[in-house]
Structure 1
Amino acid sequence: MGPYASSGWSDLPIDLLIRILRLLELLEALAFRAVCPSWRSASAAAGRVPPCRTPWLVSLAEEPLLSGDQQQPVRRGLWDPTATSELRNLLDAEKTFQVSFPWGQAVACWGASHGWLIMANELSDLVLYNPFTAASLSLPPITGFASCIEGVYGDEGNVVGYRYGCYESDSVYDVRSLGGFFYDKVVLSGSPSAGPAIALSMHMDSKRLSVVRVGDCSWRQVSVIRRSLDSYADCVYHCGRFYAVTMEGKLKSWGLGGPEDRPRKKTIIAEGDDYFFELITRYLVSTPWGHLLQIRVVLDKYQEHYVRVDVERLDLKSSQMVGVSPAKALRGHAAFLGQNSLGILSVDKFPEVRTNCIYFTTPRLRGDAFEHCHNQWIGVKVYDLRSRKLEDVFLSGGGHYGTICPSEVWFTPSL
């Protein structure tokens, strides 16, 4: 080679690579990271996620599985594991991008918080995954829910199944199926990459709440709803405490960090409201201006699409929810609700989203006596609080599994 031969692309200076990286959108940055080890190192050294103009909708890819004769592909079943996720963006709603999980396979996604996805892997254990840095952190295994789950082990000591101990002690579930229905939602108190973080899991037909400090080996149960039609509808981290609301409208909170790190429970609203029989679901939203909002979605036959959305804020002094004018509730922001947390976004930072609108993934309802009259909502929707109209976000709908096991989550990289 001559004296002026150029180096390969992998030999570009890291400071130049970082400058290039900061000009890219999220999906372009993910492709950048996959080029070679030196470019991947530059991604890690960049220290920030590329800017994005809207959240991404993340779902598990419905990649075909080969059948026994290797010639007839079959669609991935509800709890079949996949090594690939699909990402969609509001700017190009019908175009999908695929991103592989570097640590293995997943059967479900149960949360998105502080730039991390919370996935259930092929053993039904929860894993935190950052798509941009490719970092992953394991939460305690599903057997860490000791009051609910018992492992079944083979001759070589490997786990081969689980007993759902609370209900059917004689029934054994395969290792991946519980990952598709045992959990309901998982939220984080903060980013694990920024310091100690705590995870709250809503699980077991939304009847139980458990917490764990990321890095610990077992879950600590903090709440159980027994012998009641009620169940938890949503949970959120707000101003240093976890909050959870039930389908009946009861509200509780937990603080951590006291003696022996014991959760400190506070009942804020002890009695439910009058919406239970017409309720579709409820959400809790922590706002940038310090309010805790309740988004109540109810069945209303006088509204288009039979859906009405009410917004209330928590008044801590009176321990009551106070009605808020729909036109002023979001203060010119947009809300993205579902399995994700931190759902309020400024239209100044995300100019492509619609102001005073709520973007919903398919509501996740359990098999109660009222599901049949609510089980019409399939797909990703946007609700305009001013016009009270509910519309499809994506023309193809989304929400492949309806309200029993929706397959998507809103994901916003940490900026």
Structure 2
Amino acid sequence: MTSRNFALSMGEMASSSSSNKKMKMVNDSRWSELPNLITEMIVDRLGFLDILRFGAVCKNWRSVFSEARRRRFHPMVLFEYNLQKGTFGFYSFEDKKVYWKNLEDRYPARHCVGSCDSWLVLSSPYLQNYFLLNPFTGARVECPYVNRPDVDVFTKVILLDSPIDLTTKRTNCYCTVVALNLFSTELNICRLGDARWTVLKMGHEHFLGSLVYFKSQIYTLSIHGELWIISLSGPKLRATVEKVLVQINLTIGLEFQKECYLVEAEDYLLMVIRIKRKSLKKTVRFVIYKLVQNPGDYKWIREYNLPDDQALFLGRLSSKIVSTTEYGGLQGNSIYFTDDKLLHKARVSEYPETGIYNIRSGIITPYRSFDLYPFDLPHIWITPSLK
């Protein structure tokens, strides 16, 4: 493993001798005098974690670092999260290394129930409330209190916008949070800053853990294969619901079980079906469908491959398509998958099932080259951001 945290890796660069200190001061002064054009060229060639270190060198470099904060960075996997101590362990696909982040201010939490880009959705261990946390910056945003004893736990949460306004650096009160509770037949919706959640009753249907925001609408799947399309409008979050039954022809044997995921892929929507062997609880393959929408007509069309320059990150809390051209070091036409257990029931004797599924060959290989023992929590996809 690499250094235990970002600050330590910076500290190891210092020399103990006085002569080296003097030389370091001279070198620092010369580095700080580099023109911004040169330092910008350097930043363009750095990964996320190196950019963190870059911004700590000197005042001039911090100004360039501020502009680099808007860049998009490689996806990571969050494999360890001690929510009581504020310790997070990340695996970087960019350099194939493990990094640790310790937040100075601890944010005790009970469960992680959602993730969106660089934000985690966490439940409080003391009250029935949820908050958003960026583990890279330590930024925290509160959600409304859930004043209902029948709400057990949210099991899927999505954000329809950034929780932080990039101009004012304050809470974005227009950011909508949508939560799915698998033990009920409703969606819970709020805008950050609202006093309470809006409850959207969904009839008598029970829903899968699939929830995605696509083309300004919310999509979710019922256990009967119905696709629910929800439009939100108005300051009080009025909802319009469209329900369509979209059949697929997929037969699996009795020894198998399946999980369904909805994934936004630029201008179309995918449904990915994960097929697992019941006896071993091991994934054997994935099947992909693309939603074709015409007026009054919806169809799932089988897709046998992804483009060679795309990879799919798949997980219960978040899924996304990424470009292997933009993010080097990833396998194209492949599915990077994590365990699909509910996180609040994850402390069991088995370790998370993870891997890379090559869609063309059907072969599953590990996406890491090391053993994660004793870290046994399901992995969470997260995209670093310093915004």
Does the C-alpha gap of structure 1 residues 96 and 348 become closer, same or farther in structure 2, counting only changes over 3 Å?
same
Match of 1:299 in 2: 276
1:56-96 deviation line (CA, Å, top 9, x unaligned): 1113345xxxxxxxxxxxxxxxxx62211111012454x42
- Quick check: 43-52 or 332-341, which moved more? 43-52
Aligned to 1:236: 212
Question: How far off its partner does 1:241 sit?
Answer: 0.7
What is the Cα deviation at residue 115 of structure 1? 3.5
2:123 is the counterpart of 1:145 = no
For 2:381, the equivalent position in structure 1 comes to 410
Counterpart amino acid of 1:81? Q
- The 5 A counterparts of 1:139-288 are 139-140=143-144, 144-146=145-147, 148=148, 165-166=149-150, 182-192=153-163, 193=165, 196-205=174-183, 207-224=185-202, 226=204, 230-258=206-234, 260-269=236-245, 278-288=256-266
Q: How does 1:331-346 map to 2 (within 5 A)?
A: 332-341=309-318, 343-346=320-323
**Are the structure 2 counterparts of residues 260 and 119 from structure 1 closer, same or farther at C-alpha, using a change threshold of 3 Å?**
closer
- Note closer, same or farther for the CA distance 1:270–1:91 as it changes in structure 2 (3 Å cut): closer
How far has the Cα of 1:360 moved from its partner? 0.9
> What is the one-letter code of the residue matched to 2:229?
S
Question: SS of the residue aligned with 1:139?
Answer: strand
3-state SS in 2 of match to 1:218: coil
Alpha-carbon distance in structure 1 between the residues aligned to 2:374 and 2:132: 23
Q: Is the 8 A contact 2:209 2:316 kept in 1?
A: no
Match of 1:82 in 2: 85
Q: TM-score, normalised by structure 2?
A: 0.72
Question: Is the Cα–Cα contact under 8 Å of residues 233 and 247 in structure 1 kept in the other structure?
Answer: no
Contact persistence 1:293–1:311 (CA under 8 A): yes
Shift of 1:253: 1.8
CA distance in 2, matches of 1:57, 1:247: 29
Unaligned runs of 5+ in 2: 1-24, 167-171
SS state at 1:383 partner: strand
**Quick one: structure 1 residues 367 and 139, their matched pair in 2 at CA, closer, same or farther if it must change by over 3 Å?**
closer
- Displacement of 1:14: 12
Cα deviation, 1:172-216, whole Å, max 9, x if unaligned, reads xxxxxx7xxx22122111223356321111235475421111222
Aligned twin of 2:118: 115
Residue of structure 2 equivalent to 1:388:
362
Residue 175 of structure 2 aligns to which amino acid in structure 1? A
What is the total number of aligned residue pairs between the two structures? 344
Contact 2:155 2:209 in 1 (8 A): no
Is 2:61 the partner of 1:60? no
Q: Gaps (5+ residues) in structure 1? A: 63-79, 149-164, 168-177, 369-374
User: In the alignment, what sits opposite 1:126?
Assistant: 130
CA offset at residue 24 of structure 1? 3.3
- Matched to 2:66, the amino acid is A
SS of alignment partner, residue 51 of structure 2: helix
2:18 equivalent in structure 1: none
Provide the rounded CA distance (Å) in 1 between the counterparts of 2:86 and 2:179: 23
Q: How does 1:98-109 map to 2 (within 5 A)?
A: 98-107=100-109, 108-109=111-112
Number of the residue aligned with 1:68: none
Secondary structure (helix, strand or coil) at the match of 1:263 reads strand
1:385: Cα distance to partner?
0.9
Q: Does 1:324 align with 2:302?
A: yes
Aligned AA (1:348) = T
